[in-house]
């Protein structure tokens, strides 16, 4: 069954409760449709049990719900096998899992790790810590002022000592889509693995891990309509098989003695303790919902709204948009500053008009330093936003300097 994207907003209870809300903080987290909320409610009402452990009917149902969610994720990103999908709490935990498990086992003194300067701290700090611990060399892949990373720049950094490259598919500040497939080819030619942060891409564009050629991909459920507390790590099976567990305890073992343990096979080796079945069920429902909408419709709608927003913003004085001046380069993310007004004041004034945006460094301080600013304001779009949302945002934006006492 297909769903009309122009009427999808009616599926989100938050907009009934707050009819005047203009929600433009979708890069931080998305709102949840009834279909997701109902799936989670149904699970906890009628299928709740500790999965994987019980032989009774209710536990089997919980296990089936959990593994069906894993299968849905595999199909959504086109992984080869269900066991290549590891459930975590969020993208941050997924990236830390790779750093602590794969990184500690494979990166040694004198080796090199390359991280893009545009990374969210979640895909930067784990590699900083790993390199300090192991005595490895951390290199940064630089972008230009529009947020573009070139193949030439990456090739210049790659060497026979490079073990790993960490790069986002879409910047959470500039919205720029990176050429991950080509980057993966360059990394593999140099003998390195590539770790991709898909937190901003998976909710907005079709992501095919086999086509991209990435070794690891991390993303969060809450940024794609699902509950908080559920995330995904995709990893190539041959890499995951060789990696030691990240956490130890229940469910991730086959057999325990006084002297040691035999670990469970993939994917359970990396899913210690009681798992978040409710979150996985919500993620499954979110995937079903997005598949009903279709990515063609999602991308088209978000591109239209982004273009409207940027075109109207560019008519206003004293506004600087960071990154490319082309709306198609922003993937629904528009980060900007207003001359003479601190981003926190900008966000507060927007809030007084019931408009939700994000102000600060967006967990990307090194990128902000490269851009020559301490903080910015970010408006980020989802398919359930409307033209009226955008125009209310623009009208409020046009009044901010006057409200701060500037003579226009």
Those residues whose C-beta lies under 8 Å from the C-beta of residue 307, and which sit 6 or more positions away, are 327, 328
Residue ranges in 143-246 assigned as alpha helix (H): 151-157, 180-189, 209-212, 237-242
Closest CA to 50 of 221, 267, 232, 250: 250
For the range 311-319, what are the long-range contacts, defined as Cβ-Cβ under 8 Å and sequence gap of 24 or more? 312/390, 312/391, 312/394, 313/394, 313/397, 316/394, 316/397, 316/398, 317/408, 318/401, 319/397
> What end-to-end distance do the CA atoms of the chain give, in Å?
52
Q: What backbone torsions phi and psi does residue 237 show, to the nearest 5 degrees?
A: -55, -45
> In the structure encoding, which two tokens stand for residue 13, read together?
């209870």
DSSP H or E run through 279 = helix 277-293
> In the structure encoding, which two tokens stand for residue 236, read together?
């190539």
Length of the chain: 408
- Separation between Cα atoms, residue 372 and residue 394, nearest integer Å: 25
Using alpha carbons, list the distances in angstroms from residue 213 to 83, 186, 200, 202: 17, 11, 18, 15
- Buried/exposed code over 310-348 (b: 16+ C-beta within 10 A; e: otherwise): bebbeeeeebebbbbeebebbbbbbbbbbeebebebbbe
Closest CA to 191 of 158, 167, 214, 216: 158
> What value does the CA radius of gyration of the chain take, rounded to a whole number of Å?
22
> Mind telling me the catalytic residues?
363
Residue ranges in 85-243 assigned as alpha helix (H): 91-97, 104-106, 125-134, 151-157, 180-189, 209-212, 237-242
Q: Left (φ > 0), alpha (ψ -120 to 50) or beta: where does 251 sit?
A: left
């Amino acid at each position: 069954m297909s769903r009309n994207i122009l009427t999808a907003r009616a599926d989100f209870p938050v907009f009934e409760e707050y009819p005047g809300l203009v929600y433009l903080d979708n890069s931080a987290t998305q709102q949840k449709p009834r279909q997701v909320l109902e799936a989670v409610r149904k699970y906890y009402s009628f299928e709740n049990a500790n999965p994987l452990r019980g032989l009774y009917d209710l536990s089997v149902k919980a296990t089936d719900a959990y593994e069906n969610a894993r299968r849905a994720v595999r199909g959504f990103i086109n992984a080869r096998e269900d066991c290549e999908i590891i459930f975590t709490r969020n993208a941050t935990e997924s990236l830390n899992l790779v750093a602590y498990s794969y990184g500690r086992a494979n990166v040694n003194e004198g080796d090199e790790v390359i991280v893009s300067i545009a990374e969210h701290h979640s895909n930067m700090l784990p590699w900083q810590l790993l390199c300090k611990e192991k005595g490895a060399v951390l290199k940064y892949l630089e972008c230009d002022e529009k947020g573009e990373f070139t193949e030439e720049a990456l090739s210049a950094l790659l060497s026979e000592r490079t073990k790993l490259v960490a790069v986002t598919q879409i910047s959470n500040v500039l919205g720029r889509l990176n050429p991950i497939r080509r980057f993966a080819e360059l990394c593999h030619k140099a003998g390195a693995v590539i770790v991709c942060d898909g937190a901003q891409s998976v909710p907005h564009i079709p992501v095919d891990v086999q086509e991209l050629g990435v070794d690891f991909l991390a993303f969060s459920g809450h940024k794609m309509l699902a509950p908080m507390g559920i995330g995904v790590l995709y990893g190539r099976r041959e890499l995951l098989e060789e990696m030691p567990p990240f956490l130890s305890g229940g469910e991730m073992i086959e057999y325990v003695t006084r002297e040691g343990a035999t670990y469970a096979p993939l994917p359970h080796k990396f899913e210690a303790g009681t798992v978040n079945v409710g979150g996985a069920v919500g993620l499954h429902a979110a995937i079903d919902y997005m598949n009903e909408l279709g990515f063609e419709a999602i991308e088209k709608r978000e591109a239209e709204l982004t273009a409207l927003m940027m075109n109207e913003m560019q008519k206003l004085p004293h506004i600087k948009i960071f990154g490319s001046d082309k709306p198609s380069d922003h993937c629904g993310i528009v980060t900007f500053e207003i001359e003479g007004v601190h981003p926190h004041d900008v966000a507060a004034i927007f809030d007084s008009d019931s408009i939700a945006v994000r102000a600060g460094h967006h967990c990307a301080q090194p990128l902000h330093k490269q851009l020559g600013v301490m903080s910015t304001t970010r408006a980020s779009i989802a398919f359930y936003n409307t033209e009226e949302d955008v125009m209310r945002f623009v009208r409020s934006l046009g009044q901010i300097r006057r409200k701060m006492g500037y003579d226009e």
